[in-house]
C-alpha cells in the first residue's frame, strides 16, 4: 500500500516537474516575449511650446503650439488636446477638427487673438493664433497635456506636476522684483 501512494505522488508531480523544466528552458533561450521599449522616434506632430501661466498682460494670455516634422500637410480631424498624460479619455481642452499643419510647420492655439485687450494691455502674442478658444485655461500647478490622434496618445507636455519654471521667483539681481514664469519650449522632439 505504501508503494502505490508513492507512485501516485510521482505521477502527479511529474507533469509539474516537466512544466517547470520547459519554462526554465524557454526563459534561458529567450523565447519569451521581449519587454516593451521606449520609442526614440520623433512624433510627426508634437507640443513645441506651452505658455501656461499667461503673460505680463494677463494670466489668461495662455497658449500652446504644435509643430510638425511631417513632409506633407497633416489634417487634424479626430485630433484633440486633453488634460492628461495617461489617457485620451480625460477632459478635452481643444478639439483640432478642421485644422491642418503644413509640412515642417506649426499651429498656435490660444485663449485670445493677438489684438485682444486684457486689463493690462493687448495680448503678448506676435501673431494671430490658428485657433482661439476663450475656454482655454492651463493649470499652473498640475499641468498635464496630452496630444491625441483618434483616441491614441501621441505626445505629452509636462508630467502633471508644477510646470518647469512654473512659479514666480525672486530676481537675484533686484530682490524687490520678481521674474514671471516663462514658456516651456521643447528643444528635442524625441524627448517628451
Question: Do strands 63-68 and 45-51 pair parallel, antiparallel, or not at all (unpaired)?
Answer: antiparallel
Say if domain 45-185 classifies as CATH 3.30.160.
no
Instruction: Give residue-wise pLDDT tens across range 46-68.
Output: 999 999 888 888 889 999 999 99
Instruction: Give residue-wise pLDDT tens across range 71-100.
Output: 999 999 999 999 998 999 989 999 999 999
Instruction: Give residue-wise pLDDT tens across range 90-142.
Output: 899 999 999 999 999 999 999 999 999 998 889 989 999 999 999 999 988 88
Domain boundaries, the chain: 45-185
Q: Are 108 and 130 in contact (CB under 8 A)?
A: yes
Instruction: Give residue-wise pLDDT tens across range 12-46.
Output: 455 544 555 544 444 444 433 333 333 445 679 99
For the entire predicted model, the pTM comes to: 0.71
Cα(8)–Cα(140) distance, integer angstroms: 69
Amino acid at each position: 500500500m505504501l508503494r502505490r501512494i508513492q507512485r501516485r505522488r510521482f505521477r502527479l508531480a511529474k507533469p509539474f516537474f516537466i512544466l517547470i523544466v520547459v519554462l526554465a528552458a524557454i526563459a534561458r533561450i529567450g523565447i519569451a516575449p521581449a519587454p516593451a521599449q521606449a520609442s526614440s522616434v520623433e512624433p510627426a506632430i508634437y507640443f513645441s511650446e506651452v505658455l501656461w501661466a499667461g503673460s505680463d498682460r494677463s494670466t489668461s494670455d495662455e497658449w500652446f503650439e504644435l509643430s510638425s516634422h511631417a513632409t506633407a500637410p497633416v489634417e487634424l480631424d479626430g485630433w484633440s488636446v486633453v488634460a492628461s498624460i495617461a489617457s485620451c479619455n480625460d477632459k478635452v481642452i481643444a478639439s483640432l477638427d478642421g485644422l491642418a499643419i503644413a509640412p515642417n510647420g506649426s499651429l498656435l492655439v490660444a485663449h485670445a487673438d493677438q489684438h485682444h485687450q486684457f486689463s493690462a494691455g493687448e495680448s503678448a502674442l506676435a501673431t494671430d493664433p490658428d485657433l482661439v478658444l476663450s475656454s482655454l485655461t492651463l493649470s499652473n500647478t498640475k499641468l498635464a497635456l496630452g496630444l491625441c490622434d483618434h483616441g491614441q496618445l501621441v505626445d505629452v507636455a509636462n508630467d502633471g506636476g508644477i510646470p518647469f519654471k512654473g512659479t514666480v521667483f525672486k530676481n537675484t539681481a533686484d530682490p524687490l522684483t520678481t521674474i514671471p514664469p516663462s514658456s516651456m519650449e521643447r528643444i528635442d522632439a524625441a524627448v517628451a
